[in-house]
Structure 1
């Protein structure tokens, strides 16, 4: 075993990419893994939107004279596959950075490796608190609001609108679920013990969550907080309706709010569902004449004409592609890993297409959280409607 590990370490050292190989005067290589197959394959369109965005960018001359070579590989939301594909991107394709890889468990499988090689792992599509740890993992940065922040916002809403609530919690049994629940309980404070009447978890490998929902219903809870993603979002929404449970309030994470996950559950069943966001909902009528939203739909029509532009995961890809483009433009002629990290950790009041009014991106060497402001949204049976003011986790 020790001999095997020694050979592995030697191979990594030999195959380590050079800065010159990862970028040149003509090209910048960006790597990514996403679930194009498997239980969370609905998120794969994020990469498709970014691929189309970079293609359009290249057609217009690229960034500071360099073209983007974007290599996005399927990891099926499987950590071992993420390790395999990431090593391929780093050691064979010799990418300059990793960008927008999705998932807590998947990114957890590679972030020590990437940090040890000082390769930027930027704008991870996971809100786990661990991605904002500049002291221990300076080369890794989150690309969405922290799960704990979302949990705090939902708890604040319950305390304000239904202080006598009986709350049931269903959470994915991993860092994602634990972070959501930690923020949620932190905001409830000493009221958590009385208000939370039942909790259940599920494994991502589980075929269904039917038994958990049945157990939670028997608790008499009238509020359901679901820290669920992917197919489990659909299962929760549909499952609650099928067992005749009608919680007064039901919450899901921002990442579970795509129409892709609501339609299989039945849009009627999703009516009244609450989530949050820091970006404009492209399907909300209030933004129909917004310049950012019109630009997004124009992009989709031109670059991905056969795709469903209503799918908000495309909008996520579009937004984050602008974010990484901002960083690379700010690098000027110095497209080194060190300068990329320097620019990513010194953003000041950066405005991006599709962000809600008042929301800007701010980072610092000791603060890696890109998005820290949220607004609640409620599903009306057709689309999401924002309500209330911008909130944070303080």
Structure 2
């Protein structure tokens, strides 16, 4: 009799346990690339080619996800980060995107770098309904949830940043004669449009020279010489790291004393300023949204301490002075937040829903006063910047945090 009762109790317990497990299993929702134990994340970076300086971003992200995995993963799931080189070539980016989606079967492609590369894969990603999340480019077109609901940017848009420079110039140097160097692609043209829009009806008279360059050119020295000959007293430098470093060197070599404004994508001390020479970079103006590891004001900052501890433990070979490592750290933290919000609903649709539901989120490396906000109608997570000037061996912030909304 006692054995029968015990058997009945055990049987009932097993039924309850089975029902509970079934209920939990029913609560879990997965798309390709996600399981009870794993989340597959795809990535495309220019580890080679003319924009190879940006490869440090992908390596930092890999190290950060190793950190997350060593701490137990996200809701118990380990990140499988698969990153491929596209050499900053749009056709190669298409090839790698197809490989990630169709062969590796990733849940999403994260922080793929470059305006040309992302432009090449945007329609494919949206047709496949696979998130193209937090792309590593500030092109304005990534904020288009109506036409491209599976694509979202992360950093402030190029047009917005350029508008801030225009606003500052109109106030500080209203009679400026501006010469512009820009990369001849969507990235460069986006910045140029923002500058012209920001200058408004004064653009035609203030911009007296424009020179575009191709990424296949070994040097842009001849463009710099030509721009100096225009008589401009302001040089707006819209270039990726390799060419930005060349421009800084050449400007100093030919003793062009124009005010030098450098786009944010090339403010890295490690990969741009130091190679170009600290003496050559004095007085350059730019804007930023992330903390600078060389700035002593962050010595006792908890967020900077956490970043430096991460670099020491998980990416000791990485350059702490390279802005790319700070970018990689910050954007990886943002993806982790999105995946945490997803809980056990790891469908591609929910990934985009959570990415579009960030409210006043801060990574540990954002400047004070800058927050990440998104909504179903706003796919531009960061829309604030602060101006800075290069002095000595570091960037000095000045002025207030400025909203960089294109419409603002």
TM-score range, shorter chain: over 0.9
2:53 to 42, 45, 50: 42
SS in 1 for 2:260: strand
The whole-number CA distance in structure 2 between the counterparts of 1:201 and 1:251 is 16
Aligned partner of 2:115 in structure 1 is 104
Q: How does 1:240-255 map to 2 (within 5 A)?
A: 240-247=251-258, 249-255=259-265
Q: CA deviation at 1:19?
A: 5.2
Give 2:215's aligned residue: 204
- Which residue is equivalent to 2:62? 51
| Residues 19 and 96 in structure 1, CA contact (< 8 A), matched pair in contact too | no
Q: How far off its partner does 1:20 sit?
A: 4.5
Q: Which position in structure 1 is the counterpart of 2:90?
A: 79
* 8 A Cα contact 1:129 1:148, kept in partner: yes
Match in the other structure for 1:136: 147
Alignment of 1:159-174 (within 5 A): 159-174=170-185
**Is 1:236–2:247 an aligned residue pair?**
yes
Q: In the TM superposition, what are the counterparts of 1:18-33 in structure 2 within 5 Å?
A: 20-33=31-44
Alignment check: 8 A CA contact 2:384 2:402 kept: yes
Partner SS for 1:142: coil
Q: How well do the aligned residues superpose, as a CA RMSD in angstroms?
A: 1.2
- 2:266 is aligned, of 256, 262, 275, to 256
SS at match of 1:341: helix
> How far, CA to CA, are the matches of 2:220 and 2:87 in structure 1?
21
Conserved? CA contact 1:229–1:255, under 8 Å? yes
Residues 346/219 of structure 1: CA separation in 2 closer, same or farther (3 Å cut): same
Q: Secondary structure at the match of 2:336?
A: helix
CA distance in 2, matches of 1:134, 1:92: 27
Aligned-partner Cα distance in 2 for 1:19–1:288: 43
Contact 1:114 1:139 in 2 (8 A): yes
Please, which of 337, 360, 369 is the counterpart of residue 349 of structure 1? 360
Distance in 1 between residues matched to 2:318 and 2:372, nearest whole Å: 29
1:5 aligns with: none
- Count of paired positions: 376
- CA distance, structure 1, for counterparts of residue 203 and residue 264 of structure 2: 23
1:21 Cα deviation (Å)? Answer: 3.7
Q: Secondary structure at the match of 1:169?
A: strand
Partners of 2:230 and 2:241 in 1: CA distance: 25
Distance in 2 separating the partners of 1:170 and 1:366? 33
Normalised by the length of structure 1, the TM-score is: 0.93
Q: 3-state SS of the aligned residue for 1:140? A: coil
Q: 1:293 aligns with which of 304, 318, 321?
A: 304
Say which one has the larger Rg: 2
